[in-house]
Structure 1
Amino acid sequence: MFTLLTLGLALWILAHVFKRVAPERRAAMGDKGKGIVAVLLFISLGLMIWGYRGADFIPVWSPPSFMVHINNLLMLVAVFVFGMSATTGRLRGKMRHPQLTAVKIWAVAHLLVNGDLAAIILFGGMLIWAVLEVILINRAEPVWDRPEPGEAKKDVVLVIITLVAYGVMTGLHAWLGVWPFPG
């Protein structure tokens, strides 16, 4: 299962960085290339999930129990930051890479509470990918055209959506057998 996990992670990274490391080649693929990349990403997600869920538990370190609280707070922040990419409120343009920043926060949060080898491979790999992706984007497009801020009420909508999305995510974790709150 570690092979599937690693293969899925490698495919995820390659599908994402292909556009940055070979832009002419990716452009030559046209719209058909978008479909190919989407299929590869879908397959990579399946491989990562299947590999992670089926991997043997090999402990590397034992996280202290209070890390669960830090994880939960960081996850709430990650959902909010991810949502900043779609906001049209005052927060629009405050951060260049909100989705990738959210992935970094998500990965660190999960590394704080999961000390097994599969978690370190998955979440550590996603953290490395997000850092690499930001570097590649910034190198390819060093100048960022910062969008103008919008209305503050849109940020209130973002907070509400964040809370609802966080509730759905914790519900999914519970449904999958991983209770995200200390008991």
Structure 2
Amino acid sequence: MIFLSLGLFLWVAAHLFKRLAPDARAALGDRGKGLVTALLVLAVGLMALGYRGAEFVPVYSPLPGMGHLNNTLMLISLFLFGVGGTKGTLYPRIRHPMLWGTVIWSLAHLAVNGDRASLLLFGGIGLWAVVEMLILNRTSWVRPVGGRGLKGDAMNLVGTLLLFGAIAMVHLWLGHPVFEGTYF
């Protein structure tokens, strides 16, 4: 749990550094981008190592059928991650789509994982996303304009389905099949 906690702390600190200490971040210039990137890579590595090595301590038992909810929420989450990049019809209408995607990702994983390490990892990242949105709303958010319309949405949908398939394969490779117990 130490690696997981440290990784989560680095994730939050690296992301909030620019928001909470803008002058210090600006003073670093382009070096700051490299530093933040390195901290985020280290954070992800520590979270993965810590999560995989954490003792399973059950906190609650997920309800039967939550795999269906998880998969549906993950599709929505991945679509929201792509909204800013593909600039479809939702681009100027949704505030912080990537952060909302992160919150939904977090809830999806909490629906199917009821152990202590999952609560720390998924709950912690979900909480960070909410805090990040609150800070952005008070400081620097500007509504985007324009977009590609339905073409952007179509590109996002295709990308979402491809990414979902890739993520499902990685989860299968790691021993966590996403469609286990799911019947079509």
Shift in Å at residue 149 of structure 1?
Answer: 3.3
For the residue of structure 1 that corresponds to 2:85, the secondary structure is coil
Corresponding position of 1:36: 35
Corresponding position of 1:165: 163
Identity of matched residues, %: 47
Q: Which runs of 5+ in 2 are unaligned?
A: none
Corresponding position of 1:104: 103
In the aligned structure 1, how far is the partner of 2:21 from the partner of 2:152? Answer: 37
Equivalent residue runs for 1:11-30 within 5 Å: 11-30=10-29
Query: Are 1:146 and 2:174 an aligned pair?
Result: no
For the residue of structure 2 that corresponds to 1:86, the secondary structure is helix
Paired residues of 2:56 and 2:116 also in contact (CA < 8 A):
yes
In the aligned structure 1, how far is the partner of 2:154 from the partner of 2:143? Answer: 24
Shift in Å at residue 65 of structure 1?
Answer: 2.0
Corresponding position of 2:129: 130
Alignment coverage as a number of residue pairs:
181
Shift in Å at residue 67 of structure 1?
Answer: 0.9
Q: Deviations over 1:77-107 (max 9, x none)?
A: 0001111010132222121211111100000
> 1:85 is matched by which residue type in structure 2?
G
Per the normalisation by structure 1, the TM-score is 0.95
In the aligned structure 1, how far is the partner of 2:91 from the partner of 2:166? Answer: 24
Paired residues of 2:51 and 2:121 also in contact (CA < 8 A):
yes
Shift in Å at residue 9 of structure 1?
Answer: 0.1
Shift in Å at residue 25 of structure 1?
Answer: 0.8
Of 147-156 and 130-139, the range deviating more from structure 2? 147-156
Question: After TM superposition, what 4+ stretches of structure 1 lie above 4 angstroms from structure 2?
Answer: none
C-alpha RMSD of the superposition = 1.1
Shift in Å at residue 137 of structure 1?
Answer: 1.1
